Amino acid sequence: MRDSWRHFASEFIGTFALVFVGSGSIMTARLTGNVAAGLVAAALAHGLILAVMVSALMRISGHFNPAVTLGFLVTRRIEVMMAALYIIAQVLGAVVAGYALKASFPAGIFAETRGGGLSVSLDLTGGQAFLLEAIGTFFLVFVIFGTAVDLRSPKLGGLAIGFTLSAVILAIGPLTGSALNPARAFGPAVATGIYEAQLLYWFAPITGGLAAALLYEFLFMQRPREPVDHGELKP
């Protein structure tokens, strides 16, 4: 039971930090009028906080994202009940972060930026937005498996994972908000009561995350070398 609470607390804190810092950076950029640098600020804030929280908590969990947890589930790296615990903690952490932002930022800025929430550009079709979020999450989960799951991977902590999130935000942030994480989109939505594109922000990251997890697990994961007589016919 104690281990369950540790995992729950780790996922709650990590997701809370991601949503609070990520959304806060969006609101701060709008508050200071530094909109031109807002994209870079948001990319750095999201990437840095994810990198440090993954590094700090990866000994315990370090997912902070339902799409990541489901990727671990389909590759049988986490049990069903523990995966459910992770996702509940992630969603609660995101929602509490949304309300913490609402309580601590000026009401006008909170309303104007939808609590630092996400939106889809009117220039995109639904299919294009889905594809962008799915591809971005594919990159994120692929890097997680390549740097944190594979036992022969370079020991980079959360650095590569944070860099990946920052890079994807720079690439597609103005188009979809670059959630890559259902909890990241859901927390501010609950705090503001604006649930625009929530189905997209859940199903697209999960689709991309599952594809990346399965591909890395079954194609790229290092496995023991085949025996030299593999396939040899015995007399």
Q: Is residue 230 domain-resident?
A: no
Q: How many domains does the chain have?
A: 1
Residue 35: which pLDDT band, with cuts at 50, 70 and 90?
A: low
Residue 150 lies in a domain: yes
The answer to whether residue 64 sits within a structural domain is: yes
Report the alpha-carbon distance of residue 162 to residue 170 in Å, rounded. Answer: 13
Q: Is position 181 within any domain?
A: yes
pLDDT category at 226 given cuts 50, 70, 90 is very low
Residue 233 placed within a domain: no
Helix/strand/coil percent split, the chain, to 5: 70, 0, 30
Q: What is the pLDDT of residue 222?
A: 67
Q: Please give the pLDDT value at position 37.
A: 77
What is the residue range of 97's domain?
A: 2-220
Domain assignment present for residue 203? The answer is yes
Secondary structure of 110-143 in HEC code, one letter for each residue: HHHCCCCCCCCCCCCCHHHHHHHHHHHHHHHHHH
Whole-angstrom distance, CA of residue 231 vs CA of residue 235? 13
225 occurs within a structural domain? no
- Which pLDDT tens digit goes with each residue over 115-161? 998 999 999 999 999 999 999 999 999 999 999 999 888 888 899 99
Q: Is position 92 within any domain?
A: yes
**CATH number of residue 54's parent domain:** 1.20.1080.10
Could you tell me which of 42, 89, 45 has the C-alpha nearest to residue 63? 89
The pLDDT value recorded for residue 156 is: 86
Q: What is the pLDDT of residue 224?
A: 53
Residue 182 in this model has a pLDDT that exceeds 80: yes
Q: Are 118 and 177 in contact (CB under 8 A)?
A: yes
pLDDT at 1: 53
138 touches 48 (CB < 8 A): no
What's the pLDDT band for 31 if we cut at 50, 70, 90? Answer: confident
63: part of which helix (H) or strand (E)?
none
- Whether 74 and 210 have beta carbons less than 8 Å apart is answered as yes
8 Å CB contact between 27 and 20: no
